[in-house]
Amino acid sequence: MYVCLCHGFTDGDVRKALDGGCRSVAAVYRHLADRPQCGKCVPDVRCMVNEHRAGNAAGAGHAMPCAAMAQAESTA
C-alpha cells in the first residue's frame, strides 16, 4: 500500500527502512532520501515506527496494524 503519494513510497519501503535500523520518523525519511512534502504520510510513518518499536520490545516481531491502515485495507 502506498504510504506517500508525493514521493511514491510504500509500507514495504518503510518496513525495510525500519528493519534496516531506522528508529525514528526522521530517520525513515532520511533513509528514503525524502522529506515530508504535504505531511499526510507522517502519521502513518509514525504509527509504523511505533509498531516496530512495540514489536521489538515484545519480541513478537509483528504488532497490530495502525487503525488508518486497517481501515484502508478493509475498504480496498
Asked if 48 contacts 31 with a C-beta cutoff of 8 angstroms, the reply is no
Per-residue pLDDT of the chain (76 residues), as tens digits, is 999 999 999 999 999 999 999 999 999 999 999 899 999 999 999 999 999 999 877 654 444 456 555 555 555 5
The three cell numbers locating residue 62: 509483528
Local structure of 4: helix, strand or coil: strand
Q: For 2-75, CATH number?
A: 1.10.10.1100
Domain borders along the chain are 2-75
CB count in 10 Å sphere of residue 29: 21
